[in-house]
Amino acid sequence: MAKKDKDGQPSKVKAADLETINKVKEAREKQEISHRTLENKAGLAKGYISNAENPRLTTKYTLGHLNKIVKAINQTGEERNKLPDLNLHDLLPEKPILSRKKTTKVINPSVKDIGPKNAILTLITNGFFDKGLVNLDDIEANCIRLFGKSFIRKSLSHRLNILSDEGVLSRHKTGEPDTYHYRKNTSKTPASKEEGGI
C-alpha cells in the first residue's frame, strides 16, 4: 500500500533511489523482460519490481537487489543473444547526488485515474491484441509501459474475461491451470469461456 505524507500526497523517494529505479526499468525494457520474469529470475518477491516502478509506491532497491537484477538481465541477454552485459554501475547514478531533496515519482495526469477496463480497451485500440496470442504478463507490462502504473492482476484478468465473454477478445486456455492467452476476436460470435477446443 502506498505511504502518504501528512498532506495526503503520495510519499516521495530520494532522488538517487528514483534514478536507480528508472535505470533498472530502462535496462529491463531494452531486454523486453516483463516484471514477473525478472522477479522470478532474480529471486525477488512477486510484485517487487512492479511496486518499485509504480509511481504511487515508495518501494526501492538495495544493492543486493541490484546485484540479483544485473545477473538476471545478463542471463536473459545471453539466452536471446541481445545487448552486451549490464554492469552494476550502470544502474547507479553516475555522480553523487548531494541534494537531500526527495522527489515524487512522476504520474502522468492523463492516466492517473485510468482503470483496468480502460487500459485494456486502449491496448485493443492500439492494436496490441491484433498480432496474435498474448499472456497476462505481456498485458501487464504494456499497461505499465503505457500508463506508468500497474493494476491488480486479478482485476486485469477479470476485465479480460468480461471482454472475452462479450466477444471483443478471444481467450485460449494453455496447459497450466486457470492460465489463458488472449487475442482480438475477428469472428462475430462471442468467444466461449474455454476457447481452443471448439
Is 146:160 a contact under the CB 8 Å cutoff?
A: no
Read off the pLDDT of each residue in 90-109 and give the average, rounded to a whole number: 63
Measure Cα distances from 175 to 29, 106, 179 in Å.
27, 39, 8
Q: Is the dihedral of CA 61, 66, 70, 75 positive or negative?
A: negative
Please state the rounded mean pLDDT for residues 170-191.
76
> What per-residue confidence (pLDDT) applies to 22?
87
- What pLDDT is recorded for position 152? 83
Q: Confidence band (pLDDT; 50, 70, 90) for 88?
A: confident
**Average pLDDT over every residue of 45-70:** 88
What is the dihedral angle through the alpha carbons of 60, 123, 38, 195, rounded to the nearest 10 degrees? 140
Residue 66 has pLDDT above 90, yes or no: yes
Q: What is the pLDDT of residues 26-57, one digit of tens each?
A: 888 888 888 888 999 999 998 899 888 887 78
- Mean pLDDT, rounded, for 65-76: 90
The residues that bridge with 195 in the sheet, in sequence order, are 172
* HEC string for the chain: CCCECCCCCECCEEHHHHHHHHHHHHHHHHCCCCHHHHHHHHCCCCCHHHHHHCCCCCCCCCHHHHHHHHHHHHHHHHHHCCCCCCCHHHHCCCCCCCCCCEECCCCCHHHCCCCHHHHHHHHHHCCCCCCCCEEHHHHHHHHHHHHCCCCCHHHHHHHHHHHHHCCCEEEEECCCCCCEEEEECCCCCCCCCCECCC
Q: How far apart are the first and last CA of the chain?
A: 42
Q: Please report, for residues 25, 32, 61, 91, the alpha-carbon distance to residue 66 in angstroms, rounded to integers and kept in the order given.
A: 12, 18, 7, 8
Neighbours of 53 (CB within 10 A): 22
Share of the chain above pLDDT 90, in %: 10
Would you kindly state where each structural domain of the chain is located, as residue ranges?
15-91, 116-179
Q: Say if residue 14's pLDDT is above 90.
A: no
- Regarding the domain delimited by 15-91, which CATH topology (the fold level of the hierarchy) does it fall under? 434 Repressor (Amino-terminal Domain) (1.10.260)
Q: Which range scores top for mean pLDDT: 2-11, 18-27, 93-102?
A: 18-27
Q: Is the pTM of this model over 0.85?
A: no
126-169: pLDDT as tens digits: 888 887 888 888 888 888 777 777 778 888 888 898 888 888 89
For the ranges 19-33, 62-76, 135-149, 176-190, which has the lowest average pLDDT? 176-190
